[in-house]
Amino acid sequence: MSCQTDIAKLIVETEADYVFALKGNQGSLHQHVKDNFERETPTRIHTDLTSDHGRVEKRAY
């Protein structure tokens, strides 16, 4: 799914759960979001540890 403005607006209006990808080439928007994440203290952290095909993956959300 692309993240065009109209699609994003529709997702938000329907109160759906969502995660939008934001690339570094989106200038000031990328920096603004990055700054907000650096200022905020996470209220919940979920860690997922999986092992498959000889690799171990650890993800923290």
The yes-or-no verdict on residue 2 having pLDDT over 80 is: no
- Which two three-digit tokens encode residue 41? 């203290």
pLDDT at site 34: 84
pLDDT at site 49: 92
pLDDT at site 51: 92
pLDDT tens figures, 7-38: 888 888 998 888 877 888 877 888 888 888 88
DSSP lists the bridge partners of residue 58 as: 49
Number of domains in the chain: 1
**Where in the sequence is the domain holding 30, given as residue range(s)?**
5-60
- Tell me how far CA of residue 48 lies from CA of 1, 45, 59, 60, in angstroms: 25, 10, 5, 6
pLDDT at site 13: 92
pLDDT at site 3: 55
